[in-house]
Amino acid sequence: MSHLSSPPPRHKGEHKGHGLPRGSERGSSSRDKDRSVTVSSSGPMPAGGKGSRTNCSPSTPQKVPNRLINEKSPYLLQHAYNPVDWYPWGQEAFDKARKENKPIFLSVGYSTCHWCHMMEEESFQNEEIGRLLSEDFVSVKVDREERPDVDKVYMTFVQATSSGGGWPMNVWLTPNLQPFVGGTYFPLEDGLTRVGFRTVLLRIREQWKQNKNTLLENSQRVTAALLARSEISMGDRQLPPSGATMNSRCFQQLDEGYDEEYGGFAEAPKFPTPVILSFLFSYWLSHRLTQDGSRAQQMALHTLKMMANGGIRDHVGQGFHRYSTDRQWHIPHFEKMLYDQAQLAVAYSQAFQISGDEFYSDVARGILQYVARNLSHRSGGFCSAEDADSPPERGMQPKEGAFYVWTVKEVQQLLSEPVPGATEPLTSGQLLMKHYGLTEAGNISPSQDPKGELHGRNVLTVRYSLELTAARFGLDVEAVRTLLNTGLEKLFQARKHRPRPHLDSKMLASWNGLMVSGFAVTGAVLGLERLINYATNGAKFLKRHMFDVASGRLMRTCYAGSGGTVEHSNPPCWGFLEDYAFVVRGLLDLYEASQESSWLEWALRLQDAQDRLFWDSQGGGYFCSEAELGAGLPLRLKDDQDGAEPSANSVSAHNLLRLHGFTGHKDWMDKCVSLLTAFSERLRRVPVALPEMVRALSAHQQTLKQIVICGDPQAKDTKALLQCVHSIYIPNKVLILANGDPSSFLSRQLPFLSTLQRLEDRATAYVCENQACSMPITEPCELRKLLHQ
């Protein structure tokens, strides 16, 4: 169901199952047929009667702020003037619920969430709803990006007791924080097939008064069942399953759900799926002489090309929107998330490594250009997201996509100059409109725009190849390329005068870690030092603003203050597993790109902290949150699905393998084996739900390459060998620079490095596997041959 359709989709924005094809257990990305609200309950609810309904019309928002005005989260601040007695997540709210014996109403979302905006405008700004929530419930508002642990626990309940989940997520809890009713977006009033929010509140209020004991018993029973169901442990298993078998099964499940024509892995909505694309590239590498290997490569490259040509990519300002509402990647849900940009930059860089096609490297560069221009903070950090909604003109109500869509008239006025040499009268605007599929009536289907807000407007999407467009008008291909690029630049300059979408200026350690990887990997692959510098500045930001030296812990969040400053909440929000895992990955990628060993040293220290804070010494694997931080929550989970972001356990498995390759520390290899063993049942049952972990499993059961370059890091011959390595797709490797100093950090970790010498005082490469190294190599072409074997 399109995000522009009515009723709205079950899923607003990303969640665990998005983009996964058939075979994943939870959060299928198929359409929710004509359901506007997901409601789940741990016990029966009365039907309720129409006679109790009164008119509930919204009034002017209250000007007196509630206690959320003291928070830093942009999402919580968006609700600071609601006529609701909101509490942030914390002991004050829990104590009030227990003292007054009231249920807790927990509402979870994020600041760029379209349906969160809708529910806030329809319900939370409503005076009567405000009174109900304030008098009969203890109302708690949570930014899911600040507290992913709270979000995961209660999303597990909503997904387990209904047909899906998404945001906003609304859950009713007992004073002991156990859930008993949950749902996603609720319209204000009842519809023919929909239960309105007001009705739900009245029913729950009545049930709490009349059948509270039953609700409590049902809640305890459901919580116990969720606890048993969510347990991930080694049990009596000693080893993980066969990597080759899981690899094959995961590929087959993906192949079954693949869209041959448009790429991707579902009908609609369609999501960018970097974890799946990464798996397919890895699968190709280990099966490249087989038909399945060729098929995997084609699936990934075709998907990336169709996405880049579609409207899900912002052809004017670059970067990718959150997802496509249709099978063709044409009409997007327009918000832009930092984690998508980070992962897609890597995916397109890998596509370039594999194919040599500069189409993919151009897309990767465009993504990072967008991030540098629109999501970068003066401190070196990266902001979280840009909203889907913005006012078409100043002073107007925000509409989804208003910043990004175009009318034919606008384009004609901006690009009116004639094109010389065409076989018919042609302006540069007409050329651009032909190539990108713009029409007078607009190219957005009425079914995707029921309110008519986007009538006559267009989303740019590539309809023809440059060659076909050139042939259509008798023009040279390069001339058409130049004309289109010039036209897009003029649209970009004109778009600057429109009101911009809201920027969520919150900075998260986890997403900044992903972005460090995005800049580091792309910069290394393309040989662009300026991109590596962005990664370096991102890592410096993390160490300066999001790392507590005294405790050795990461902080989860910080916020853009006035004048380019950085602010923190008080008390600080400490990091979760994903913060450590993604930052460690970013630092390892940055070390390989920059050869600055200080980043590798910090990665080791953070891994030690992660092991101390999150490792399950009995069952194996990592918990998502610290035991102390999650105190009171009914579940302590291990995330078991690679979705819009990879599972932190999947990333940790890769990190542990790489750290073992960099240091030889056996403890990290043992932890990796225990982690993979703990997830054995999940891997066997639904490998397609964990493609990133399947990759780690395969890497563990294959041989990690230690590629050692002996040389002066500033010398041309050293840089030539390093660039040779970066230009080749080798996911299962560590790249080490040995500068000849026996007291260096890496020489202390890996004593064998001191035995590797430069040949004739030239930069020299060694490829080591299973504690044996190749003959010395000084020529990049010879190294390339060896690495391609």
CA 18 – CA 164 distance, rounded (Å): 11
- Give the pLDDT confidence score for residue 231 in this predicted structure: 85
Q: Give the helix ranges, DSSP H, for 54-113.
A: 74-77, 91-100
- Give the pLDDT confidence score for residue 42 in this predicted structure: 56
CA 520 – CA 603 distance, rounded (Å): 15
CA 534 – CA 145 distance, rounded (Å): 23
454-479 pLDDT, tens per residue?
899 999 999 999 999 999 999 999 99
- Give the pLDDT confidence score for residue 764 in this predicted structure: 97
Mean pLDDT across the stretch 673-698? 96
74-128 pLDDT, tens per residue?
999 999 999 999 999 999 999 999 999 999 999 999 999 989 999 999 999 999 9
Residue 724 has pLDDT above 60, yes or no: yes
- Give the pLDDT confidence score for residue 22 in this predicted structure: 30
Look up tokens 């994943």; give the residue: 24
Alpha carbon separation from 524 to 18, 349, 361 (Å, rounded):
30, 9, 12
Look up tokens 């393309």; give the residue: 526
Count of CB atoms situated within 10 Å of the CB of 490: 18
User: 347, 340 in Cβ contact below 8 A?
Assistant: no
- Give the pLDDT confidence score for residue 487 in this predicted structure: 98
Residue 13 has pLDDT above 90, yes or no: no
Lowest mean pLDDT among 186-190, 298-302, 312-316, 523-527: 186-190
- Give the pLDDT confidence score for residue 9 in this predicted structure: 39
Mean pLDDT across the stretch 661-690? 96
Cα dihedral sign, 587-592-594-596? positive
What residues pair up with 107 in beta bridges, in sequence order? Answer: 141, 170
Residue 685 has pLDDT above 50, yes or no: yes
Cα 72 to its chain centre, rounded Å, is 22
Mean pLDDT across the stretch 482-489? 98
Average pLDDT, the chain: 90
Instruction: Identify the top-confidence range among 9-13, 190-194, 781-785.
Output: 781-785
pLDDT over 90, % of the chain? 82
Cite the beta strand spans of 342-395 per DSSP E: 385-386, 389-390
Residue closest to 91 by CA, chosen among 571, 569, 613, 507: 571
Q: CB within 8 A of 57, min separation 6: which ones?
A: 126
Mean pLDDT across the stretch 152-162? 90
* Three-state secondary-structure class, residue 557: strand
pLDDT tier for residue 25 given thresholds of 50, 70 and 90: very low
Mean pLDDT across the stretch 19-32? 33
CA 339 – CA 441 distance, rounded (Å): 34
User: 537, 596 in Cβ contact below 8 A?
Assistant: no
pLDDT tier for residue 347 given thresholds of 50, 70 and 90: very high
pLDDT tier for residue 602 given thresholds of 50, 70 and 90: very high
181-223 pLDDT, tens per residue?
999 999 999 988 889 999 999 999 999 999 999 998 988 888 8
Mean pLDDT across the stretch 596-609? 97
Residue 2 has pLDDT above 70, yes or no: no
pLDDT tier for residue 407 given thresholds of 50, 70 and 90: very high
41-76 pLDDT, tens per residue?
555 443 333 333 333 444 444 479 999 999 999 999
pLDDT tier for residue 630 given thresholds of 50, 70 and 90: low
Q: CB within 8 A of 405, min separation 6: which ones?
A: 444, 454, 457, 458, 459
Mean pLDDT across the stretch 157-165? 85
Q: Give the helix ranges, DSSP H, for 388-505.
A: 408-414, 428-436, 466-473, 477-495
Residue 417 has pLDDT above 70, yes or no: yes
CA 35 – CA 166 distance, rounded (Å): 13
pLDDT tier for residue 782 given thresholds of 50, 70 and 90: very high
- Give the pLDDT confidence score for residue 624 in this predicted structure: 95
CA 654 – CA 704 distance, rounded (Å): 11
Residue 311 has pLDDT above 70, yes or no: yes
Residue 18 has pLDDT above 60, yes or no: no
Residue 534 has pLDDT above 70, yes or no: yes
Instruction: Please tell me whether the overall predicted TM-score, pTM, comes out greater than 0.85 for this model.
Output: yes
738-767 pLDDT, tens per residue?
988 888 899 999 999 989 999 999 999 999
- Give the pLDDT confidence score for residue 50 in this predicted structure: 33
- Give the pLDDT confidence score for residue 740 in this predicted structure: 80
- Give the pLDDT confidence score for residue 41 in this predicted structure: 58
- Give the pLDDT confidence score for residue 650 in this predicted structure: 98
Alpha carbon separation from 274 to 130, 271, 347, 686, 740 (Å, rounded):
41, 9, 6, 18, 38
Residue 788 has pLDDT above 50, yes or no: yes
CA 257 – CA 276 distance, rounded (Å): 12
Residue 431 has which token pair? Answer: 């050329």
Alpha carbon separation from 527 to 278, 365, 372, 719 (Å, rounded):
21, 12, 17, 10
Residue 644 has which token pair? Answer: 């819009």
Mean pLDDT across the stretch 284-311? 97
